[in-house]
Amino acid sequence: MARGRKSRFQRQVERFASTRAGGWFFVNVANRIDPALLRLSRGRLSIAVGQPVLLLTTRGARTGRSRSTPLLYGTDGERLVLVASKAGSPRHPAWYRNLKANPEVRVIASGRSGRYRAREAEGEERERLWDSAVELYSGYDVYQGRAGARRIPVVVLEPA
C-alpha cells in the first residue's frame, strides 16, 4: 500500500493536511471541488496533488440517495483500502455509515474504476493495513490521537 519516497512538496502537503486547519480544508473545501475534478479526469486529477485519491459513491443509509466522497486510498493487491478518519473527528464520517448500511459501492480511480463491495478490516489484517496506511500518509496517526476513544476504521473494497 505504501508508495516510494515522497517529494518535498508531498511531505509539505502531508504536514499541512495533518493539522486541524489542513484537515478542515480537505474535509470542507477539497471535498466540494474534487468530485468534479475526479469525474472529468477519470480519477487522475485531484486537489491533493501527488496523492492517490478516488471518488467513492455510496447509497445513503437513511435516504437511499447516491453520495460521492473523494478519499485518499491505498491498495492491497486488487483491493482498495480506505481509512475512515474524518481528519480525527470523534465521529465516523457519513460515507462510512453509508457503506456499513449498503456495502455495494462505485469507485472512480485512475485505472481502478468500477463496482466494489466494502467490508471493515479486523484483527491482524486491520493492523497490517493500518501500518501500511500510515506509511502512505503519516497524518492518520495524528488523526487517531485526535479521535479520542473512537478507533478509526480501515475499510477494504473488493472488486464486485
**DSSP per-residue letters across 98-125:** HHHH--EEEEE-TTT-EEEEEEE--HHH
pLDDT computed for residue 99 by the predictor:
96
C-alpha to C-alpha distance for 87 and 21, rounded to whole angstroms: 10
What is the chain's pLDDT, residue by residue, as a tens digit (160 residues)?
A: 645 677 888 788 888 888 889 888 888 888 889 999 999 999 998 888 778 999 999 999 999 999 999 999 999 999 999 999 999 999 999 999 999 999 999 999 999 999 999 999 999 999 999 999 999 998 999 999 999 999 999 999 999 9
Which pTM was predicted? 0.87
Cα R_g (the chain), whole angstroms: 14
Which residue in 58, 113, 102 sits closest to 80, CA to CA?
113
